[in-house]
Amino acid sequence: MSVSLEQSGDVWFPDGNIILLSVEKIAFRVFKGFLAQHSPVFRDMFAIAQLDKATAFDECPVLLLSDSAFNLSPLLRLLTGVHDFLQTEKSLQFSGLASVILLSHKYQMERIRDRALQLLEDIMAVEPPQDQDVKEYLAFSSLSIMPEDAFAIVNLASLTGRNSLLPMAFYMCCFLSPVTLIHGFIRSGFLCKLQPGDVVRCFSGKSQLANACAISFLKIYDYNLDMQAVCSTPSKCRPSFHGHIRKITKYSPKEITSCNALSAWAACDIHEDICDQCSLTLSDRVKATHSEVEEFTQIFRARHQMADSKGSMTNIKGFACPKFVF
């Protein structure tokens, strides 16, 4: 007896000899040999599994997987050559890349996993430009990464051991609201949230980043710190610095304790009101404090261990998968 299936519109080869069925009952018809060539997990599954002929479709055996079609589609399109977006796309969808990393790790497709992770590390594991807001840098990167994607990146870093992704990912998490950090959010029908230990890390980081931002503010705009030694027009520059401090404290007080410590004072609108020597010193101060904050964010690089990690469910941007246990 054959079963009725909803065929994938992306990956369906009429002459394929195996059908992969997602949890939503979306069917992908591909070739056993091709999957076995790329994945020792699939190779072992085909060797051991007794595929029930009663669930065959058009005399083609059906293998039920625990993966969503949302995740399977990008990986299978890549594997079968339907769309090698890792190679051809100048602007990738982060969700597709995350799906490829997740399932290529699960099915031990190391070459594909490492290739996809490298694309992510090229953006996330580098220091962003000092003259550009971090959120803007990520939004206009080739992956167009949003702060909400940080949950997925933290979990992928933990899953694959790529701790180089953690500093920027946790930094992004700090932009999210306390409610989102604690309870997560719904995307593509799935609950996306961090592990409890990572939530604690984020709240600790938010507090420390706010302190770092306030200290940066004081270091950068304190005219009396060392500016007067190089200033050529004290009567002009000193009031400009003091006026700028009053302006920010009156109209933008939240910026002083913002979590955006890497970017908050990168773009200053005071340069036109001060002498060239003060302007150069101000730029040097911004660079110095940026480096100090960047060094601070490396505390997030430490491998985060959670007591509830083994066998727990990790939600990765619309994906639900057993963490570390495949």
Position 81 scores a pLDDT of 81
Q: How far apart are CA 319 and CA 22, in angstroms?
A: 13
Backbone angles phi, psi at 90, to 5 degrees: -80, -30
Position 77 scores a pLDDT of 92
Opening angle at CA 101, ends 66 and 134, nearest 5: 130
Phi/psi-derived region of residue 200, left when phi > 0, alpha when psi is between -120 and 50, beta in every other case: alpha
Q: How far apart are CA 118 and CA 113, in angstroms?
A: 9
Position 324 scores a pLDDT of 24
Position 297 scores a pLDDT of 66
Position 314 scores a pLDDT of 39
List 263's β-bridge partners, or say none. none
Position 199 scores a pLDDT of 92
Q: How far apart are CA 304 and CA 267, in angstroms?
A: 33
Position 211 scores a pLDDT of 86
What is the SS3 assignment for 95? helix
Contacts of 207 (CB under 8 A, 6+ apart): none
Closest CA to 4 of 76, 53, 65, 56: 56
Measured torsion, CA atoms of residues 139, 143, 148, 153, in degrees rounded to the nearest 10: -130
Low-confidence ranges of the chain (pLDDT < 50): 1, 303-326
Position 233 scores a pLDDT of 94
Q: How far apart are CA 20 and CA 120, in angstroms?
A: 28
Position 323 scores a pLDDT of 28
Position 47 scores a pLDDT of 84
For 149-182, letters b (16+ CB in 10 Å) and e give: bbbbbbbbbbbbebebbbbbbbbbbbbbeeebbe
Q: How far apart are CA 222 and CA 241, in angstroms?
A: 7
Position 20 scores a pLDDT of 94
Q: How far apart are CA 310 and CA 202, in angstroms?
A: 21
Q: How far apart are CA 219 and CA 284, in angstroms?
A: 11
| pTM for this model (two decimals) | 0.78
